[in-house]
């Protein structure tokens, strides 16, 4: 209807457009870039030096202490073939984190998948599920 067209009719105006990689060029001094500079390869280091003119670096230890995560292929990577086994693994991870007083975030591809997990037999065992 004409009323519907009037309510939905709009002109989209682009109010700003910029590249995040260009922002550092607007400043005379760059401080506190990231905690991962010591892991850059030769190509990335070359970009820092030639493109961003970062010639001096000081790397300080993390205020959070040493990195404690240890990669264990059997524990950190799992291949599961059914939805039920995948859901059970989510429950196991949540349970382990809670038992160790650790925070945990669980991400789902969609709200629908989250709802399916919550109403599944595996998901029902999680008490006080936060969404």
Taking only the tens place, the pLDDT of each residue in 23-77 is 888 888 887 766 677 788 899 889 989 998 888 877 777 777 777 777 777 777 8
Find out whether 129 and 123 touch, Cβ atoms under 8 Å.
yes
77-91 confidence digits (pLDDT tens): 888 899 999 999 999
pLDDT score for 19: 85
In this prediction, residue 27 carries a pLDDT of: 85
The residue ranking higher by pLDDT, 85 or 18, is 85
Greatest C-alpha distance within the chain: 65
Q: How many CB atoms lie under 10 A from the CB of residue 60? A: 7
Q: Which letter does DSSP use for residue 72 in this model?
A: -
Helix residue ranges per DSSP H, 9-82? 42-50, 73-76
* Cα–Cα distance list, 95 to 37, 114, 129 (Å): 35, 17, 12
Structure tokens at 4: 């519907």
Q: Is the pTM of this model over 0.85?
A: no
d(CA 24, CA 18): 12
Model confidence pLDDT, tens digit, residues 107-129: 999 999 999 998 898 888 886 55
Q: Tell me what pLDDT residue 113 has.
A: 92
Residue 131: predicted pLDDT = 44
What's the CA gap between 126 and 65, in Å, rounded?
32
């Amino acid at each position: 209807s004409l009323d519907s067209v009037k309510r939905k009719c709009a002109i989209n105006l682009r109010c700003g457009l910029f590249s995040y990689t260009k922002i550092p060029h607007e400043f005379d001094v760059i401080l506190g870039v990231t905690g991962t500079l010591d892991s850059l390869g030769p190509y990335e280091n070359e970009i820092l030096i030639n493109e961003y003119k970062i010639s001096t670096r000081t790397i300080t230890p993390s205020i959070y202490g040493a990195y404690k995560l240890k990669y264990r292929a059997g524990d950190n990577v799992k291949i599961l073939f059914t939805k039920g086994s995948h859901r059970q693994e989510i429950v196991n991870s949540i349970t382990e984190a809670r038992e160790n007083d650790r925070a945990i975030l669980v991400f789902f591809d969609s709200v629908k998948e989250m709802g399916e997990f919550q109403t599944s037999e595996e998901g029902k065992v999680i008490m006080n599920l936060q969404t």
